[in-house]
Amino acid sequence: MSQVLISAEELAESSQGRNPPRILDCRARLGDGYAGRRLWEAGHVPGSLHLDLDRDLAAESGEGGRHPLPSREAFTGTLQRLGISPDVAVVVLDDMGGQLAAARAWWMLAVWAGHPDVRVLDGGLRAWQEAGGELVLGQEALPEPSGWQPRFDDSARVTADDVFSGRELKVDARSEERFRGEAEPIDPVAGHIPGAVCRPSAANLTETGHFKSAAALDAELPSDEAVVAYCGSGVTACHNVLAYAIAGRSLPRLYPGSWSEWVRDPSRPVARG
């Protein structure tokens, strides 16, 4: 893939150019569906638009899990409303090193919808501020809507049935405690999909919240001929997919329903330990 990260300094420079990128603020808090909007209103990167995890990057929770993908038609409408087209570079950010909604937005735009130039702000909002970037208040004018009709690549995702019958290595982005079934603060069943290995998304980052080097990620990420990424609800799993991209590896396929969908069917096996 093309370059997938952008530094705060590079973002500041490109924002002053003739063709500035569309900046999407994806901050969110699990359990509070309106926190992201409030955070954006309290201060955001100049020119950035709010992209909502629960309303723009997911459909309503239900049988498909806590954050199922929106329909292709719904996401196309979101992209058009934000004036996004293949001719407009996009930068996505959050305040958790991309672990929450920024990586999900990157995956949906770059991998699923096929946008050619989507980058994640390395280090997120903290890096922007530490580099001297300001935050502004107030509304941002929406750009002219686009007419983009993405060609979605549904082969980049898998279903629960695919996971159940497939032989791909399953990589779980949740914490070690949740993976082992020692703690489960969100979903009704603890444990993991049998045969999976644990790669917490936080392990992709340095202490400063930036991504580790490509070489370090390549040495650490689980290897197999084919990989499926999952987590609790298909959000932080995208951070692992992004890490594979940074490492120059073939991208895992995403299981969007993840653990929150898997455990809805009691006939699906569960492993612990």
Active site residues: 231
Collapsing DSSP to helix, strand or coil, 50 comes out as: strand
Q: Please provide residue 36's backbone torsions phi and psi, each rounded to the nearest 5 degrees.
A: -60, -45
Beta strand spans in 108-245 (E) = 118-121, 169-172, 197-198, 227-230
Contact 186, 260 (CB under 8 A): yes
Asked if residues 253 and 170 have their Cβ atoms less than 8 Å apart, the reply is no
**Residues 26, 92 contacting (CB under 8 angstroms):** yes
User: How far apart are the C-alpha atoms of 164 and 177, rounded to whole Å?
Assistant: 23
Residue 41: closest CA among 138, 142, 143, 140: 138
